[in-house]
Chain A
Amino acid sequence: SQKIEQNSEALNIQEGKTATLTCNYTNYSPAYLQWYRQDPGRGPVFLLLIRENEKEKRKERLKVTFDTTLKQSLFHITASQPADSATYLCALISGGYNKLIFGAGTRLAVHP
């Protein structure tokens, strides 16, 4: 069956460290993959998109990698800050579809 998996356990890190979140998928061939941020009680907000032919994408302190062989995307936040604390969702769209499929998200807590 098709699955998108993100670590359901919260990730706790110290301020200033790099946070790394993982998104694994099975039985999809995504044309691209997106990452969203969601704060409590609010809707998800788009952060980054990476295409299947791209290995890495950066935006300020954010970096996303996409390994279609491993069927995995990694999301990194460097020099993390308490304000980065949120739930991060990955989402993919597979070739013939026009809909996003979302993972359940991983909660990140950055401690001062």
Chain B
Amino acid sequence: DADVTQTPRNRITKTGKRIMLECSQTKGHDRMYWYRQDPGLGLRLIYYSFDVKDINKGEISDGYSVSRQAQAKFSLSLESAIPNQTALYFCATSDLTGETRKETQYFGPGTRLLVL
């Protein structure tokens, strides 16, 4: 979905390096999320933010940090990358619009990260 963009799309880094993955959205949504996807495990929530001043840990936040720089931008940092953080990372947005709390999420194209 071009409304949610992620950079970089692919990244190779070494153990111990600090890296940042960035997410931008033009959908005007307040809510943003970071997930990682591993084969057989599905999508797991790392962090989420319901507005610029709200940051919450997901189920697997250890080793990660986030920054919500603006409504449209939500970045994920790996402070000291380790090999088991090799995964596909997705940013998503949502908005509580319409007649129900639908929580439909709109995903970016993903960042494939390899930690050597």
Contacts and interface: CB of A to CB of B under 8 A. Distances in A.
A99 B92 CA distance: 12
Contacts of B69: none
Determine the main DSSP class of B at the interface with A.
Answer: strand
A45 to B, nearest CB: 7
Nearest to B91: A43
A102 interface: yes
Which of A31, A44, A45, A49 has its CB near the most chain B CB atoms (within 10 A)?
A44
A44 B107 contact: yes
Contacts of B90: 43-44
A28 interface: no
Interface residues of B, number: 27
A99 B33 CA distance: 9
11 contacts: A4-B42, A31-B101, A43-B4, A43-B90, A43-B108, A44-B105, A51-B100, A93-B103, A98-B103, A99-B48, A105-B42
Interface of B: 1, 4, 33, 35, 40-45, 48, 50, 58, 90, 92, 100-110, 112
